Each structure stands twice: as C-alpha cells, then as structure tokens.
Chains A and B, each alone.
Chain A
Amino acid sequence: MRPRLILASVIIPLGLIIAAVPENTTKPYKLTAEQLLNELKTDQQFVHPDQVADMLIQKDPSLQLIDVRSSAEFEKFSLPGAINVPLENLLSEDYEYYLNQDIKLNVFYSNGSTAANEAWMIARQLGYKNNYVLRGGLNFWVETIMNPQKPAETSPNEELARYDFRKAASSALGGGGAIAPAAEVDVPAAKPPIIKRKKKKTVQGGC
C-alpha cells in the first residue's frame, strides 16, 4: 500500500507538469563548428552556374533563387525568378516560408560567394533543408554564363560542348548583348525532379 502511495505522489505531480507544459521543439544547434567547417571545406553547398542556367532554361519549377544582396542591388540586376532576401533580414519571419521547406532547391547568391555562404551557414544551422550556394556568385555567373570565353580549338570536346551550352544559355538568359527578356515567364506545372537530401543519422538500437 505505502509504496504505491509514494510512487503516486511522485509521478502524478511530475506527470501533471509534463502534461501542462508545451513540448520543447527548439533545436539548440544542428552541427558543431567542426562539422560545419568540414562541410564548407568539402564544398558540398555549391551549385555550379551551369546547373543553375540549365534549370532556368528548362523552367524547372523546383529551383528557387534567393538574392541575399540589398534590395537596391536587387533592383538593378537579378537573376530571372529570384526573390530578394537581404542577408540582414534572413531571420525575419516573413522569409521563413521560403527557407524552411523541403520541396524546392534554394540557391543563395550574392556578388561573390561570401554573403551567400553566410546565409547558407545560418540556414544550415537552423536545420533548414535543400539550401545551396551559387558557386562564385554573380561575378562568376557573368564570367561563365553571360560572357563565356571561347576555348582554344585544341580544347577537349567537353570544353567545347560546355562553351556551346553557355553561349546558348547566355542568349536565352539575356547575356552577351542580347536583349533582356521580359520579366517572369510563366512556369509550367512540371513535376519537380528528385532532390538530393542529406541523410539524417539516428541512433540505431533497441533491446
């Protein structure tokens, strides 16, 4: 009799407390500094401009370009279909809808890749999925896609094929002196391609 009373007097109040408080859904951190550094070193977060250009031309609906520069710079020039999320407003609730999702492929870009990398690091530590960085930023984009350099005649075939692709992409996306296309083209409701996801590790076990 007595042990049951003692037990009841302990677990009923504790149970009442735990029933009353909201569940703790905060995740204090996702990665240690070392892990994040490793990911940065291995360049996992980068998407090459060629891939982005290809997705833009194919009007891939799963691509979401995110411009992390200031809105003034965004007004001046931006990639087609990009949304503007200035780096300092990244944590604002208005943008969480875009960042915290796992349907689209978010690609951050800035002029170089520093600001975009910062945005990626924040998103990564918040545990948001499918966020990537445009390799080299807009500078590299202009260099490779907008004004591709003709490779030497003796270059390997892949190099020449890449140049052809870039030249075509350039005229399609309004680079290299071509007339800039009218704003947004309506996006067909195509099926998004399979998005690679990082596998989450869980503790394996059981009795």
Chain B
Amino acid sequence: MGPLIVNEIISANTNLLIAFFIGIGFGFVLESNGFSSSRRLAGMFYGYDTTVLKVFFTAAVTASIGLLFMSLFGWIDLSFIYINPTFLWSAIGGGVVMGAGFILGGYCPGTSFCAAAIGKLDALAFIGGIFIGILIFMEGYPLWENFYKAKFMGSPLLSDWLNISRGLLAFLIALVALGMFWVGEWAEKKFAREDYEINQR
C-alpha cells in the first residue's frame, strides 16, 4: 500500500498538505516539551537536562519499530523508503559544525524556529546565523566541493554491516535507548542545578 505518494494513492500536492499538518504537529510537540528553551537544549551537553535525548531517541525507536510492523503487515514497501546517502567526510564535518553551533547558540535549526514563533530574540539571531551559514556555504561551494563529495558510501545500513535482521537491530536499539534514558536520568540528578527547574520534580 504505502508509501502513499510512490503508489499514486495521493498526489504530490496532497503529500505537501499532509507534510504541512505534520510540521505543525511537530512544532507543537517541540514547544510543549519546552524545546524552545535554549537552557533545556544546552542542558543536554552539561547533563542537567536530557530531554532532547529522550524525545529524539523515543521518536527513533517508535518510528523504527512502527515501520517494521507496517512492513510486516504489508502496509508499506520499505524498499521505497528514501535513505539519505552517506558522504562520510561531509557527514562528520557537518556534525561538528552543527554541534558547535548547537552548544554556542543553544538551539538546533528546528527548535530555533519554534522559539522564534513564541517571540524569542536569541532565536531570531540564531536564524540569522543559519542564513549567513547558508550564504557562506553557497558562495564558497567551489572551495569545499571536493570535501563535500568525498568518500561516498551509498546508503549503508547498520543491520547489513552487522549482518543481523532489521527487526533484531531495532530491538537492540530499543534496549540501548532504555539504557540511555536511565543514564540520562542519573545524570540529571548528578548534575542538577540550583537555578534550573524546568525538569526537576
């Protein structure tokens, strides 16, 4: 049956409309989880608030188990799912740039728009930084084109590399996630701050 758009069950425009509503839902969940607070996001790096880890790891585990069940029931054809191709060096480089910006600015690109929506000025400054970054990347593209395209690896899958089934991998990741949640909550107690109260109960 799925993916809906590949099998022409819905049109590309309907797809965009659905994406629009999912986007609103995503923003709403981010905001209601306090993701528009840069202190909460930065707390991930200092250990006093690990909500970011919990939310995104839960999302990944839910999505992976959900997709595998949908594939099992014949609702979706996993071979049609787009897997972002890996360019090893630009993935590492981009990760470093993104991480550094995350620590410096206290937002990631999505949450900065979330925070700007509730009127935070530091988020607006962060968005300005995003556009400056985009401009530098585009204008300087010839300089880093070789780095950008280096070490293309196709779309490697962890399950193929470990030679285990996708289901077993999803289960192992779920276990890792639960372990990380436990570590996260331990860290929240260990690195708790006097002046930070969003997550202390």
Contacts and interface: CB of A to CB of B under 8 A. Distances in A.
Contacts, number: 75
Given A7-B58, A15-B170, A20-B167, A26 B6 contact: no
Interface residues of A, number: 26
Nearest to B81: A203
A26 B171 contact: no
A201 B80 CA distance: 8
A4 B178 contact: yes
A155 B39 CA distance: 84
Interface stretch (B65-73, B86-94, B113-121, B141-149): B65-73
Contacts of B69: 14, 18
A100 B1 CA distance: 23
Interface string B1-28: 1010111100000000000000000000
A51 interface: no
Interface size for chain B: under 10, 10 to 19, 20 to 34, or 35 or more residues? 35 or more
Nearest to B1: A28
B162 to A, nearest CB: 13
B175 A24 contact: no
A19 B170 CA distance: 7
Interface in A1-41: 1, 4, 7-8, 11-12, 14-16, 18-24, 26-28, 32
B84 interface: yes
A18 B170 contact: yes
Contacts of B167: 18-21, 23
A188 interface: no
Contact of A12 (B1, B58, B77, B174): B174
A206 B84 contact: yes
B154 to A, nearest CB: 13
Given A11-B178, A203-B80, A18 B171 contact: yes
Interface of A: 1, 4, 7-8, 11-12, 14-16, 18-24, 26-28, 32, 201-206
Interface of B: 1, 3, 5-8, 58, 61-62, 65, 68-69, 71-74, 77, 79-82, 84, 165-168, 170-172, 174-175, 177-178, 181-182, 185
User: What are the 9 A-B residue pairs with the smallest beta carbon separation, nearest first?
Assistant: A15-B171, A19-B171, A18-B167, A15-B174, A19-B168, A203-B82, A19-B167, A11-B174, A18-B68
